[in-house]
Structure 1
């Protein structure tokens, strides 16, 4: 087999190799979201290259931050269409004050999110982690008819759940009593 044929083969096979159990788990997560009452941590969509924000960035000035790429904007719009097509009820939308999270929320849900400082980026800010995680736990509570979507950062999701999501990926939490929760699973926008 020549190199091009081998490469095509290697790129094609994994798409077919998704185990049936993974597809069943994904279907169960979509049903869980359709029933409502879940909390969804969504990492912002794809951004321009880099990690963190440039030195001297300002939350009130999007030009000083790392922002969504064109691909990220398209991905966010696609996710919004997917959520609507699947009939996912949305009770509230919260977002980190970072521009990439606010823009992701607007593109996915078609409305301005409520800004929630507890969803702020923890990357490079380890001293803030304990306080923010405590605030986030208070937001994860049962009793909602629809789902609570929180658009945030990978570092913030990791600190709360132990899961490091890809850009645009959702981590579904099933709230329990007293700020506790169970990670129900992860969904990528497809």
Structure 2
């Protein structure tokens, strides 16, 4: 176990089993209905204060002049990955502070293994988090490799979260596109979901980084 992060061994094993027993199939964006984005309101924040939700946070803004060195991305070498920019680090810290100021309780935090997501998680929450390989950036993966990652994300969005706390997932926009046909922008956005257990999950709203200040002012 490394400081500030844990390996997600059981989840990775289960996702690997899923790949072996479930027929290989990846849906495209055309298979989803037209997505209607919803802006968060003060009522959204009040719901989050009660807990029981999943906050899917896209990593902070990145330096697009330094793309991932596909196929040579090394998860142990941040120089092979598109990095979080200085502005991205700042925005990640601001979003985390806004969540705290809003009185939104945060329980478990899981992050993609990419450096930009782990740095976002640390900047925003400053605490230990789980590194979940099955939240990996799907744009760098083959269609077959995506299957267990998509299944894992659906499971995390659907599994009940105890009242009084919220689950945070720090990951990537293409992953949600693969799951539900929604590419969340801009970087640093928080997408709110209500888990429905065996019935899946419900999209609640999206909170862009610059929207937090207005929401906090109206609480």
TM range (shorter): 0.7 to 0.9
Q: How many residues align?
A: 169
What per-residue deviation string (whole Å, max 9, x for no partner) do you get for residues 95-122 of structure 1? 0000000000000001132001111100
Assess if the C-alpha contact under 8 Å between 1:38 and 1:174 holds in 2: yes
What per-residue deviation string (whole Å, max 9, x for no partner) do you get for residues 121-158 of structure 1? 00142332222111222223114231100000111122
RMSD: 2.0
Which position in structure 2 is the counterpart of 1:164?
Answer: 183
Please list every run of 5 or more consecutive structure 2 residues that lacks an aligned counterpart in the other structure.
1-36, 211-219
**Pair 1:44–1:25, CA change in 2 (3 A):** closer
Which position in structure 1 is the counterpart of 2:79?
Answer: 63
What per-residue deviation string (whole Å, max 9, x for no partner) do you get for residues 44-88 of structure 1? 000001585123120111121111000000000111110111011
Which moves more between the two structures, 132-141 or 107-116?
132-141
**Pair 1:24–1:59, CA change in 2 (3 A):** closer
After TM superposition, the structure 1 = structure 2 runs for residues 1-190 of structure 1, keeping only pairs within 5 Å, are: 25-50=40-65, 53-55=68-70, 56-125=72-141, 126-140=143-157, 141-145=159-163, 146-166=165-185, 167-178=187-198, 180-190=200-210
| C-alpha distance in structure 2 between counterparts of 1:23 and 1:175, whole Å | 17
Assess if the C-alpha contact under 8 Å between 1:36 and 1:89 holds in 2: yes
**For the pair shown, which has the larger CA radius of gyration, 1 or 2?**
1
| C-alpha distance in structure 2 between counterparts of 1:179 and 1:67, whole Å | 37
| C-alpha distance in structure 1 between counterparts of 2:160 and 2:191, whole Å | 16
Q: After TM superposition, what 4+ stretches of structure 1 lie above 6 angstroms from structure 2? A: none
Which position in structure 2 is the counterpart of 1:10?
Answer: none
* TM-score of the aligned structures, taking structure 2 as reference length: 0.72
**Pair 1:76–1:45, CA change in 2 (3 A):** same
**Pair 1:144–1:161, CA change in 2 (3 A):** farther
